[in-house]
Amino acid sequence: MNNRLMNLCLGFLMLFAVSAASAQNKPEFCNPILAGFYPDPSICRVGSDYYLVCSSFSYFPGIPIFQSKDLVNWKQIGHVMDRPEQLNLDSLGVSRGIFAPAIRYNKGLYYLTCTLVDKGGNFVVTAKRPEGPWSNPIWLPHVNGIDPSLFFDDDGKAYILYNSIPPDDKPLYDGHRTIRMRRFDAANLKVVSEEKIIINGGVDISKKPIWIEAPHIFKVGRVYYLIAAEGGTAGWHSEVVFRSTNAEGPYVPYEKNPILTQRTLDPQREFPVTSTGHADLVQMENGTWWAVFLGCRPYRPFDQGYYNTGRETFLAPVAWRDGWPIINPDLEKVQYHYPLPIKLPAAIGATPHGGNIKVRDEFFSGKLDFHWELLRTPRERWYSLSERKGLLAMRVRPETCSDPVNPSFVGRRQQHLVGSASVRLEFVPAAENEKAGMLVFQNEKHFYYICKSVTNGLPVVQLYKSTTDNKSDSRMDLLVSREFEPRVKSKAVLFKIEAHGNTYSFSFAVEKDKWILLSENVDATFLSTRIAKGFVGCMYALYATSLGKSSGSTAYFDWFESAGNDEVY
């Protein structure tokens, strides 16, 4: 092992050890436990291990899966859908694709149910080990809806429940939905009964509750508990609970529902967590109960509801009161800090996922780390980690991130409201249409792109903003262009994107730590979920394109680094 590689390895171990230890050596942990857009969490416990999955929409590989011993420190161990034959995301919009996976374990087998929106509907996959390999999807055409979840009863029966249409497909109001159930044959992976409506509308249909979804059933003693999200995924989001003495109902709602929401709180409060809901519960070995759920972190001005990090995964304790589970008991606000569920020795080697973390990738491992994602299913191999050791080589291809295709795009979630991402790039563009650099990307019509290119034969650094229409051939507007010295044409360049809540700044350098500001106070709300819509959050992406024309060029990324400086931590 050469000295550079040895020093890097030691540095990574020290970085990750410090990050993990700092979370564990305090009596508290910090939320979100998975920062960046990791929405719709589902969790299960097998022995002393916990496994968690999240929605991934049109990113590939699909459905990240994490492992933990303490519910706080999570290590990503893979993806459930990591083979093109499993997951066809061709032509899908960024916020379509994989919705709301649910993970369960029964008799030596892991089961995951999910919905592939616009490309097949509901399916189930199985694995003997949570890290995979997972099976190819078994489609469930009789499950008409979204958010399927399995429940295995202790009498050997299994059920699948899901969000579906109103009775007779005749809605009484906008957002009127039902929770339905079928018996499930776990051995043959198919439904074996007619469906039954177990919840119509929500807690109180006379109040016109909307979007009852994300159902899960738990059995505690002899009582069955059904939890579900209600109110939509924005500020009115909540979690509600019902119970029954029979798995198939009837289910009676808790009179003090919802058991989790932030919708009644002052929108001008400091450092709010909003839109909480879509929860799943788990009981630890020590008998305590906890909930994972999605929430959002707006930036200043807090009451405007702007956030770019998407819907993230939070953790809060659960208390049982008068036979009902209450999430975040005795508190109105979801907290950024709670006492640790249990205290274990710090885990070393796992990329941290919460707090003001710093992550650096030198591309030495020979394969992309699990935290990297591609946009849609790749149909050819356009990147390499072996062409030049320690560099991510990316072919400059005609595909663009403005189109529903698989471009030369390797992305990592923006995890901080205040923080930075930087990269070192080696690239010699052969024509003005060839560009390589770094995106901050929300969707096809909402992104910024800082890149290296050429103009009139001279190297330039450029900053683009996506257009929201199709008038421009490139679907980008040039905001800033600045020439390098001619000698820089064949030299490496560094790019940095800094997030400052409601603004971004973009910088470049040709020498280490000698940053040159290209543009500041760039509107970040343009990339917020409120403006861009959809269900995802922003990605920092390494990206190269020739804007629809053929190219023989290659861009080489030497390293990538992101770091956070969020005030609440």
Which residues lie closer than 8 Å to 277 by C-beta, 6 or more apart? 214, 229, 230, 231, 233, 237, 238, 239, 260, 261, 293, 294
Instruction: Give residue 24's pLDDT band: very low, low, confident or very high (50, 70, 90).
Output: very low
Residues 277-306 have pLDDT tens digits of 999 999 999 999 999 999 999 999 999 999
* CA distances for 119 relative to 58, 216, 238, angstroms: 11, 24, 29
Kindly report the number of other CB atoms within 10 A of residue 556's CB atom.
21
DSSP 8-class letter at 34: B
* CA distances for 198 relative to 115, 195, 203, 363, angstroms: 20, 9, 11, 50
CA distance linking residue 43 with residue 130, whole number of Å:
12
CA distance linking residue 23 with residue 30, whole number of Å:
8
Mean pLDDT across 24-31: 77
Q: Residue 540 above 80 pLDDT? A: yes
- Side chain identity at residue 1, one-letter code: M
Is 420 within 8 Å of 562 (Cβ atoms)?
yes
- Return the percentage of the chain with pLDDT > 70, whole number: 93
Predicted pLDDT at 485: 74
Predicted pLDDT at 7: 39
- Side chain identity at residue 488, one-letter code: V
Residue with tokens 């957002």: 175
Which residues lie closer than 8 Å to 469 by C-beta, 6 or more apart? none
Kindly report the number of other CB atoms within 10 A of residue 479's CB atom.
16
Is 233 within 8 Å of 535 (Cβ atoms)?
yes
Is 424 within 8 Å of 557 (Cβ atoms)?
yes
CA distance linking residue 351 with residue 74, whole number of Å:
8
Q: Residue 489 above 90 pLDDT? A: no
Instruction: Give residue 9's pLDDT band: very low, low, confident or very high (50, 70, 90).
Output: very low
CA distance linking residue 181 with residue 160, whole number of Å:
6
Rounded to the nearest 5 percent, the helix, strand and coil shares of the chain are 10, 45, 45
Q: Residue 1 above 70 pLDDT? A: no
Residues 329-344 have pLDDT tens digits of 999 999 999 999 998 7
Catalytic residue annotation: 40, 213
Is 438 within 8 Å of 540 (Cβ atoms)?
yes
CA distance linking residue 427 with residue 436, whole number of Å:
7
Predicted pLDDT at 8: 39
The helix/strand/coil state of 207 is: helix
CA distance linking residue 385 with residue 375, whole number of Å:
18
CA distance linking residue 564 with residue 491, whole number of Å:
29
Mean pLDDT across 499-507: 98
Which residues lie closer than 8 Å to 424 by C-beta, 6 or more apart? 492, 493, 494, 557, 558, 559
Question: What's domain 3-339's superfamily in CATH?
Answer: Glycosyl hydrolase domain; family 43 (2.115.10.20)
Q: Residue 11 above 70 pLDDT? A: no
Is 462 within 8 Å of 481 (Cβ atoms)?
yes
How does the average pLDDT of the chain come out, rounded?
93
Name 5's bridge partners: none
Kindly report the number of other CB atoms within 10 A of residue 287's CB atom.
6
- Side chain identity at residue 238, one-letter code: S
Instruction: Give residue 3's pLDDT band: very low, low, confident or very high (50, 70, 90).
Output: very low
Q: Which of 4-18, 141-155, 195-209, 396-410 has the lowest mean pLDDT?
A: 4-18
Pairing, β 158-164 against β 146-152: antiparallel
Domain parsing of the chain, residue ranges:
3-339, 358-564
CATH of 358-564, one of 2.130.10.10, 3.40.50.720, 3.40.50.2000, 2.60.120.200: 2.60.120.200
Q: Residue 349 above 80 pLDDT? A: no
CA distance linking residue 46 with residue 42, whole number of Å:
14
Residues 414-440 have pLDDT tens digits of 999 999 999 999 999 999 999 999 999
Name 312's bridge partners: 295
Q: Do domains 3-339 and 358-564 have the same CATH topology?
A: no
User: Which residue, 219, 293, 282, 288, is CA-closest to 259?
Assistant: 293
- Return the percentage of the chain with pLDDT > 90, whole number: 89
Is 228 within 8 Å of 145 (Cβ atoms)?
no
Q: Residue 162 above 60 pLDDT? A: yes
Q: Residue 517 above 70 pLDDT? A: yes
User: Which residue, 370, 292, 302, is CA-closest to 103?
Assistant: 292
Predicted pLDDT at 491: 82
Predicted pLDDT at 486: 67
Predicted pLDDT at 19: 40
- Encoded tokens for 182: 């079928």
0.85 exceeded by pTM: yes
Mean pLDDT across 3-22: 38
Higher pLDDT: 343 or 173? It is 173
Instruction: Give residue 21's pLDDT band: very low, low, confident or very high (50, 70, 90).
Output: very low
Predicted pLDDT at 18: 36
Alpha helices, DSSP H only, in 364-506?
Answer: none
Backbone angles phi, psi at 390, to 5 degrees: 85, 10
Predicted pLDDT at 484: 83
CA atoms within 13 A on the CB side of 557: 30
User: Which residue, 368, 318, 295, 374, is CA-closest to 54?
Assistant: 295
Residues 210-261 have pLDDT tens digits of 999 999 999 999 999 999 999 999 999 999 999 999 999 999 999 999 999 9
Residues 59-116 have pLDDT tens digits of 999 999 999 999 999 999 999 999 999 999 999 999 999 999 999 999 999 999 999 9
Is 61 within 8 Å of 81 (Cβ atoms)?
yes
